[in-house]
Amino acid sequence: MSVEKELMERSQGQCELCKSSNGLTVYPVPPHSQENADDSILVCEKCLAQLNKKEEPDPGHWSSCLSESMWSEVPAVQVVSWRMLGRFRNETWASDNLDILYLSDELLDWAKKTGDHESSGEIELHRDCNGAQLFDGDTITLMKSLDVKGSTLNAKMGTVVKNIRLVADNTEQVEGKIDGMAVIILTKFVRKK
Protein backbone atom coordinates (compact mmCIF):
# COMPACT_ATOMS: atom_id res chain seq x y z
CA MET A 1 0.00 0.00 0.00
CA SER A 2 1.36 3.45 -0.87
CA VAL A 3 2.21 5.90 1.91
CA GLU A 4 -0.46 8.33 0.73
CA LYS A 5 -3.15 5.61 0.76
CA GLU A 6 -2.06 4.49 4.20
CA LEU A 7 -2.21 8.07 5.53
CA MET A 8 -5.59 8.66 3.84
CA GLU A 9 -6.93 5.60 5.59
CA ARG A 10 -5.38 6.58 8.94
CA SER A 11 -6.73 10.14 8.76
CA GLN A 12 -10.06 9.25 7.15
CA GLY A 13 -9.28 11.62 4.25
CA GLN A 14 -8.70 14.69 6.43
CA CYS A 15 -5.74 16.87 7.39
CA GLU A 16 -4.29 15.30 10.51
CA LEU A 17 -3.89 18.75 12.05
CA CYS A 18 -7.00 20.78 11.18
CA LYS A 19 -9.42 18.17 9.70
CA SER A 20 -9.70 20.01 6.36
CA SER A 21 -9.99 17.92 3.21
CA ASN A 22 -8.66 20.57 0.77
CA GLY A 23 -5.52 19.74 -1.22
CA LEU A 24 -4.19 16.97 0.99
CA THR A 25 -0.55 16.01 0.63
CA VAL A 26 2.00 13.86 2.44
CA TYR A 27 4.30 15.86 4.74
CA PRO A 28 7.44 13.97 5.87
CA VAL A 29 8.09 15.39 9.36
CA PRO A 30 11.65 16.84 9.44
CA PRO A 31 14.38 15.83 9.78
CA HIS A 32 12.96 12.81 7.93
CA SER A 33 12.83 13.47 4.21
CA GLN A 34 11.53 10.18 2.87
CA GLU A 35 7.85 9.46 2.91
CA ASN A 36 6.81 6.64 5.20
CA ALA A 37 3.65 6.36 7.27
CA ASP A 38 5.37 6.47 10.67
CA ASP A 39 7.36 9.66 9.99
CA SER A 40 4.78 11.49 7.83
CA ILE A 41 1.39 13.09 8.22
CA LEU A 42 -1.34 14.10 5.81
CA VAL A 43 -1.84 17.89 5.71
CA CYS A 44 -3.97 20.40 3.80
CA GLU A 45 -2.61 23.24 1.64
CA LYS A 46 -2.96 25.88 4.40
CA CYS A 47 -1.20 23.80 7.05
CA LEU A 48 1.56 22.86 4.59
CA ALA A 49 2.24 26.49 3.64
CA GLN A 50 2.51 27.49 7.28
CA LEU A 51 4.57 24.46 8.28
CA ASN A 52 7.03 25.30 5.49
CA LYS A 53 7.00 29.00 6.49
CA LYS A 54 5.71 30.10 3.10
CA GLU A 55 2.79 31.95 4.65
CA GLU A 56 2.26 34.11 7.73
CA PRO A 57 1.29 31.97 10.74
CA ASP A 58 -2.44 32.28 11.43
CA PRO A 59 -3.24 31.89 15.15
CA GLY A 60 -6.96 31.72 14.36
CA HIS A 61 -6.39 28.65 12.21
CA TRP A 62 -4.19 26.87 14.74
CA SER A 63 -5.74 27.74 18.12
CA SER A 64 -8.64 25.30 17.81
CA CYS A 65 -7.02 22.52 15.78
CA LEU A 66 -3.78 22.17 17.77
CA SER A 67 -5.64 21.67 21.04
CA GLU A 68 -7.14 18.56 19.41
CA SER A 69 -4.26 17.29 17.27
CA MET A 70 -1.79 17.40 20.18
CA TRP A 71 -3.69 14.45 21.70
CA SER A 72 -3.36 12.32 18.57
CA GLU A 73 -2.08 8.79 19.01
CA VAL A 74 0.18 9.29 15.97
CA PRO A 75 3.70 10.29 17.10
CA ALA A 76 4.38 12.38 13.96
CA VAL A 77 1.20 14.42 14.57
CA GLN A 78 2.23 14.97 18.21
CA VAL A 79 5.66 16.22 17.10
CA VAL A 80 4.23 18.68 14.56
CA SER A 81 1.63 19.88 17.07
CA TRP A 82 4.37 20.54 19.64
CA ARG A 83 6.42 22.48 17.07
CA MET A 84 3.48 24.62 15.98
CA LEU A 85 2.47 25.32 19.58
CA GLY A 86 6.07 26.43 20.12
CA ARG A 87 5.77 28.96 17.29
CA PHE A 88 2.80 30.52 19.09
CA ARG A 89 4.19 30.14 22.61
CA ASN A 90 3.66 33.85 23.33
CA GLU A 91 -0.10 33.36 22.93
CA THR A 92 -1.94 32.24 26.04
CA TRP A 93 -3.77 29.35 24.37
CA ALA A 94 -0.52 27.88 23.00
CA SER A 95 1.40 28.33 26.23
CA ASP A 96 -1.39 26.61 28.18
CA ASN A 97 -1.42 23.70 25.72
CA LEU A 98 2.37 23.35 25.83
CA ASP A 99 2.18 23.16 29.63
CA ILE A 100 -0.14 20.16 29.54
CA LEU A 101 1.29 18.37 26.48
CA TYR A 102 3.46 15.38 27.33
CA LEU A 103 5.90 13.88 24.84
CA SER A 104 8.13 10.91 25.60
CA ASP A 105 11.88 11.65 25.64
CA GLU A 106 12.24 10.05 22.20
CA LEU A 107 9.45 12.18 20.67
CA LEU A 108 10.72 15.33 22.37
CA ASP A 109 14.18 14.73 20.87
CA TRP A 110 12.58 14.36 17.44
CA ALA A 111 10.52 17.52 17.95
CA LYS A 112 13.59 19.54 18.94
CA LYS A 113 15.78 18.40 16.03
CA THR A 114 14.68 21.24 13.71
CA GLY A 115 15.37 23.97 16.29
CA ASP A 116 11.91 25.48 15.72
CA HIS A 117 11.37 25.68 19.47
CA GLU A 118 14.35 28.07 19.87
CA SER A 119 13.19 30.72 17.43
CA SER A 120 10.28 33.10 17.64
CA GLY A 121 7.14 32.21 15.75
CA GLU A 122 7.71 35.02 13.30
CA ILE A 123 8.86 34.18 9.83
CA GLU A 124 10.52 36.30 7.22
CA LEU A 125 8.90 36.40 3.83
CA HIS A 126 9.82 38.16 0.60
CA ARG A 127 7.96 41.48 0.68
CA ASP A 128 7.92 44.49 -1.63
CA CYS A 129 8.40 48.12 -0.53
CA ASN A 130 4.73 48.29 0.53
CA GLY A 131 4.82 45.07 2.55
CA ALA A 132 2.96 42.89 0.03
CA GLN A 133 4.18 39.29 -0.03
CA LEU A 134 6.06 38.29 -3.18
CA PHE A 135 5.84 34.84 -4.78
CA ASP A 136 7.71 33.03 -7.56
CA GLY A 137 6.28 34.10 -10.91
CA ASP A 138 5.06 37.52 -9.75
CA THR A 139 5.43 40.67 -11.82
CA ILE A 140 7.10 43.65 -10.15
CA THR A 141 7.85 47.28 -10.99
CA LEU A 142 11.10 49.02 -10.05
CA MET A 143 10.50 51.97 -7.73
CA LYS A 144 13.98 53.41 -8.26
CA SER A 145 16.50 53.52 -11.11
CA LEU A 146 19.17 50.94 -10.37
CA ASP A 147 22.67 50.34 -11.73
CA VAL A 148 23.28 46.65 -12.32
CA LYS A 149 26.61 45.62 -10.79
CA GLY A 150 29.10 44.14 -13.23
CA SER A 151 27.45 45.67 -16.29
CA THR A 152 26.69 48.98 -17.93
CA LEU A 153 22.95 48.34 -17.62
CA ASN A 154 20.86 50.95 -15.78
CA ALA A 155 17.38 49.70 -14.95
CA LYS A 156 15.08 52.73 -15.01
CA MET A 157 12.39 53.44 -12.45
CA GLY A 158 9.09 51.98 -13.68
CA THR A 159 10.72 49.02 -15.42
CA VAL A 160 8.44 45.97 -15.25
CA VAL A 161 10.08 42.65 -14.40
CA LYS A 162 7.95 39.58 -15.09
CA ASN A 163 8.18 36.06 -13.72
CA ILE A 164 10.51 36.76 -10.79
CA ARG A 165 12.14 34.05 -8.70
CA LEU A 166 12.60 34.38 -4.95
CA VAL A 167 16.18 34.05 -3.69
CA ALA A 168 15.81 31.12 -1.31
CA ASP A 169 18.31 32.10 1.36
CA ASN A 170 17.74 35.87 1.34
CA THR A 171 14.26 37.39 1.80
CA GLU A 172 15.56 40.80 0.72
CA GLN A 173 16.36 39.67 -2.82
CA VAL A 174 14.50 38.47 -5.90
CA GLU A 175 15.85 37.39 -9.27
CA GLY A 176 14.49 38.58 -12.58
CA LYS A 177 15.46 39.43 -16.14
CA ILE A 178 15.94 42.99 -17.35
CA ASP A 179 16.78 43.40 -21.05
CA GLY A 180 17.48 39.65 -21.21
CA MET A 181 20.02 39.79 -18.38
CA ALA A 182 19.41 37.86 -15.14
CA VAL A 183 19.78 40.25 -12.20
CA ILE A 184 19.30 40.20 -8.45
CA ILE A 185 17.03 43.00 -7.23
CA LEU A 186 16.53 44.19 -3.66
CA THR A 187 12.90 43.85 -2.59
CA LYS A 188 12.91 47.29 -0.94
CA PHE A 189 13.13 48.84 -4.44
CA VAL A 190 10.21 46.96 -6.01
CA ARG A 191 6.42 47.06 -5.95
CA LYS A 192 4.24 44.09 -6.76
CA LYS A 193 2.09 44.68 -9.81
Q: 181 is in which domain, residue-wise? A: 140-192
- Considering the domain architecture, whether residues 105 and 181 belong to the same structural domain is answered as no
Listed residues 65, 88, 118: the one ending a domain:
118
- Name the residue among 12, 14, 74, 65 with its Cα closest to residue 44: 14
In a domain? residue 63: yes
In a domain? residue 82: yes
- Considering the domain architecture, whether residues 103 and 8 belong to the same structural domain is answered as yes
**By CB neighbour count within 10 A (0-12 exposed, 13-18 middle, 19+ buried), where does 67 fall?**
middle
Question: Which residues, including other chains, have CB under 8 Å from residue 10's CB and lie 6 or more apart?
Answer: 16, 37, 42, 74
- Considering the domain architecture, whether residues 106 and 176 belong to the same structural domain is answered as no
Domain count, the chain: 2
Listed residues 118, 151, 177: the one ending a domain:
118
- Considering the domain architecture, whether residues 38 and 80 belong to the same structural domain is answered as yes
- Considering the domain architecture, whether residues 32 and 78 belong to the same structural domain is answered as yes
In a domain? residue 83: yes
pLDDT reported for residue 77: 96
In a domain? residue 133: no
User: What is residue 134's DSSP assignment?
Assistant: P
Domain of residue 152, CATH code: 2.30.30.40
Cβ(121)–Cβ(89) below 8 Å: yes
- Considering the domain architecture, whether residues 31 and 107 belong to the same structural domain is answered as yes
Cβ(56)–Cβ(125) below 8 Å: yes
- Compute CA distances 64 → 89, 130, 153, whole Å: 15, 32, 53
CA 142 – CA 125 distance, rounded (Å): 19
- Name the residue among 81, 80, 90 with its Cα closest to residue 120: 90
| pTM of the complete model | 0.69
- 130 three-state secondary structure: coil
In a domain? residue 125: no
| Residue-by-residue pLDDT tens, the chain, 193 positions | 799 999 999 999 999 999 999 999 999 999 887 778 899 999 999 999 989 888 888 899 999 899 999 999 999 999 999 999 998 988 999 999 999 999 999 999 999 988 766 665 566 788 899 988 898 999 999 999 988 887 888 889 999 999 999 898 888 999 999 988 899 999 999 999 8
CA 67 – CA 69 distance, rounded (Å): 6
pLDDT reported for residue 55: 83
- Considering the domain architecture, whether residues 57 and 95 belong to the same structural domain is answered as yes
pLDDT reported for residue 6: 93
User: What is residue 150's DSSP assignment?
Assistant: T
Compute how many other C-beta atoms are within 10 angstroms of the C-beta atom of residue 164: 22
